Amino acid sequence: MTFSRVLVAGGAGFIGSAFARTAAGDGAEVTVLDKLTYAGNPANLAGVPHTFVRGDICDAALLAAVVPGHDLVVNFAAESHVDRSIADAGEFARTNVLGAQRLLQACLDARTPRVVHVSTDEVYGSIETGSWDEGAPLAPRSPYAASKAGGDLMARAYAVTHGLPVCVTRCGNNYGPRQYPEKVVPLFVTRLLSGGKVPLYGDGGNVRDWIHVDDHCAAVRLVAEAGEPGEVYHVAGTAELTNRELTGRLLAACGAGWDRVEFVADRKGHDRRYSLDDTRLRSLGFAPKIDFETGLAETVRWYAAHPGWWS
């Protein structure tokens, strides 16, 4: 890593903690700033040398104290679960839009030389066939996706208006250790491991593109090091699967049968398919390293070996 002092906002969450682990492993001095919502867990940072600051990315005074002195700021802090945004979108607008803006402003004030704002394929809406490139119009369909699109556009505006050296990454669905068990992979694995049933939305035909969290973090790191300021980079997955296919793989990995699956009413406004064209990121030399079979088997083993983390 070419950065020596790295601030990871949202670094106690699933992906942020993986990124903090890599950055510290590369010898960077790591600061984690995290509000510790239900999704943030200090245990995710076990064994990672870091300075921890508990706080909110909406708190401008705190940011003015914490941000200066870092040569890379990466923003993973977000409300991240679509179902929660359907129940109540307020915190999503607050953290994902206002918080993103406050952090960008703090980076501008501190003249941070490099900023990466981490986003999602969900900002484009849903696509039946083909893939989006980075110029595709943003057409979010859930309150979560709309709030992420707001944060992305704020990053773009800070790059264009103020020349802030910020890149935006948009990634597909992540899987791996330490993901809060409300998302499909850890939810299904932990329920199957503890003898329960798993809920499959609608006809199970919704398609997602899966990437291991460590590959996503490697992509974020490459964009920080070699990305063009102001640009957006797609991080595509390695396995495009319907939720039914994913469920089949998880059942097999946990030694369970289809009798453990309950088909439930579909999520409101459920996006059918996401698909990213990652040509731009690949032109920087990126290729994901973890194949889905291996990564999923290792992920299931991690949850099986850490019941104390999830139960």
Residues that bind ligand NAD (CB under 6 A): 9-10, 12-16, 34-37, 39-40, 56-58, 76-80, 95, 99, 118, 120, 148, 171, 173-174, 180
Strand 232-235's sheet: what is its strand order? 51-54, 29-34, 5-9, 72-75, 115-120, 166-171, 232-235
Q: Which is nearer to ligand NAD, 256 or 273 (CB)?
A: 273
**From the CB of 70, what's the least distance to ligand NAD, in Å?**
15
Q: Active site residue: 34, 56, 121, 278, which one?
A: 121
Q: Active site residue: 56, 79, 122, 278, which one?
A: 122
Q: Which residues contact 66 (CB under 8 A, 6 or more apart)?
A: 7, 31, 33, 53, 55, 106
Residue type, 69: G
Q: Which is nearer to ligand NAD, 238 or 256 (CB)?
A: 238
Residue whose structure tokens are 């890379």: 72
**From the CB of 220, what's the least distance to ligand NAD, in Å?**
9
Residue 144 annotated as catalytic: yes
**From the CB of 154, what's the least distance to ligand NAD, in Å?**
13
Q: Active site residue: 56, 79, 144, 214, which one?
A: 144
Q: Which is nearer to ligand NAD, 15 or 232 (CB)?
A: 15
Residue 133 annotated as catalytic: no
Q: Tell me which residue has its CB nearest to ligand NAD.
A: 13
Measured over all CA atoms, what is the biggest interatomic distance in the chain, rounded to whole angstroms?
A: 57
Q: Which is nearer to ligand NAD, 54 or 268 (CB)?
A: 54
**From the CB of 97, what's the least distance to ligand NAD, in Å?**
11
**173 bridge partner residues:** 210
Coil/strand/helix, residue 5: strand
| Residue-by-residue DSSP string for 210-274 | EEEHHHHHHHHHHHHHHPPTT-EEEE--SEEEEHHHHHHHHHHHHT--GGGEEEEPPPTT---B-
Cα 303–chain centre separation = 19
Q: Which is nearer to ligand NAD, 235 or 256 (CB)?
A: 235
Residue 214 annotated as catalytic: no
Cα end-to-end span (Å), the chain: 35
Residue whose structure tokens are 């398609």: 207
**From the CB of 195, what's the least distance to ligand NAD, in Å?**
25
Active site amino acids: 121-122, 144
